[in-house]
């Protein structure tokens, strides 16, 4: 893989460079946007951001996770975040997860942007769902978001998501992912991903990550239970972990 072939992910955040840098280097801030609620989240954060890392605080550059490289640059009043993936082959145990890690970074950088722009400092609670797509309906039409997915970022939408009427705005769209804000989740964020079965992944993959804010225990439990039932009947879990949802051990 040449330098030009390495995937590059760019996100512009409406926050100063120093603020974005702190969100990348302070563990209490990283927990607000990286990954999802999981007993292993703190260990994952430590592994990725604070073991075998290379940082240049003055230049606002950070190398993590076997060669992924993050650069922060001023962009008007905001910050352009550029993440360039490590080449394949640097760490063979990670190569089987390469494309999944690229998709994970796409999700996480959008969650970083959401944290800084919409929910700075607010504690989140997440619902994470993953499953297979072989024989399953396409995810966006099933959620009633196929029409919303063609709208530009920032445009308003209304939909019925897994039995709940919601409204919000389009947050981002990439080759395999789509994100919207959801007012009913305390101004939360939904990120979904869907890939058809391939020779490498004959079961296909689907993912939904719900970030919620300010829901009480009953409301959160109802949301998690309703989405779990809706999801499980359409995108069943595989016999083993889906690549990308469980990182190799350090």
CB 206 within 8 Å of CB 130: yes
The answer to whether residues 7 and 114 belong to one domain is yes
pLDDT reported for residue 238: 79
| CATH assignment of the domain containing 218 | 3.30.530.20
The answer to whether residue 206 is domain-embedded is yes
The answer to whether residues 13 and 110 belong to one domain is yes
pLDDT reported for residue 200: 86
The answer to whether residues 104 and 146 belong to one domain is no
Instruction: State how far the Cα of 137 lies from the Cα of 36, in Å rounded to an integer.
Output: 25
The answer to whether residues 106 and 146 belong to one domain is no
pLDDT reported for residue 241: 57
Indicate the number of domains in the chain: 2
Neighbouring residues of 193: CB distance < 8 A, sequence distance ≥ 6: 103, 107, 139, 176, 177, 178, 205, 206, 207
| Domain C-terminal end among 118, 144, 163 | 118
The answer to whether residues 19 and 74 belong to one domain is yes
| Domain C-terminal end among 97, 118, 139 | 118
The answer to whether residue 155 is domain-embedded is yes
The answer to whether residue 239 is domain-embedded is no
pLDDT reported for residue 247: 44
Residue numbers of the chain with a pLDDT score lower than 70: 1-4, 239-250
The answer to whether residues 107 and 134 belong to one domain is no
Neighbouring residues of 88: CB distance < 8 A, sequence distance ≥ 6: 1, 95, 98
| Domain C-terminal end among 118, 133, 156 | 118
The answer to whether residues 221 and 138 belong to one domain is yes
Q: How much is the pTM? A: 0.92
The answer to whether residue 220 is domain-embedded is yes
The answer to whether residues 40 and 83 belong to one domain is yes
The answer to whether residues 221 and 146 belong to one domain is yes
The answer to whether residue 182 is domain-embedded is yes
The answer to whether residue 191 is domain-embedded is yes
Burial 165-199 (b: 16+ CB within 10 A, else e): ebebebbbbeeebbbbbbebbbbbbbbbbbbeeee
The answer to whether residue 216 is domain-embedded is yes
The answer to whether residue 242 is domain-embedded is no
pLDDT reported for residue 3: 55
The answer to whether residues 164 and 211 belong to one domain is yes
Instruction: State how far the Cα of 213 lies from the Cα of 1, in Å rounded to an integer.
Output: 41
User: What domain range includes position 75?
Assistant: 3-118
170-199 residue pLDDT tens: 999 999 999 999 999 999 999 999 999 999
């Amino acid at each position: 893989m040449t330098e030009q072939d390495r995937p590059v992910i760019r996100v512009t955040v409406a926050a100063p460079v120093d603020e974005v840098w702190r969100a990348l280097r302070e563990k209490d801030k990283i927990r607000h946007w990286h990954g999802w609620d999981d007993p292993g989240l703190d260990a994952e954060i430590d592994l990725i951001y604070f073991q075998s890392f290379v940082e240049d605080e003055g230049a606002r550059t950070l190398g993590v996770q076997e060669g992924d490289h993050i650069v922060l640059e001023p962009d008007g009043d905001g910050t352009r975040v550029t993440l360039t993936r490590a080449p394949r082959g640097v760490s063979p145990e990670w190569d089987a997860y390469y494309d999944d890690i690229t998709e994970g970074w796409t999700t996480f950088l959008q969650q970083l942007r959401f944290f800084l722009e919409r929910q700075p400092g607010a504690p989140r609670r997440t619902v994470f769902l993953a499953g297979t797509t072989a024989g399953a309906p396409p995810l966006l039409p099933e959620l009633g978001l196929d029409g919303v997915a063609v709208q530009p970022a920032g445009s308003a939408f209304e939909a019925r998501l897994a039995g709940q009427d919601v409204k919000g705005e389009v947050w981002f769209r990439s080759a395999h992912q789509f994100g919207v804000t959801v007012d009913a989740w305390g101004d939360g964020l939904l990120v979904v991903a869907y890939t058809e079965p391939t020779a490498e992944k004959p079961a296909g993959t689907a993912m939904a990550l719900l970030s919620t804010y300010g829901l009480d225990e009953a409301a959160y439990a109802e949301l998690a239970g309703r989405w779990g039932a809706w999801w499980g009947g359409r995108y069943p879990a595989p016999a083993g972990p889906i690549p990308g949802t469980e990182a190799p051990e350090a």
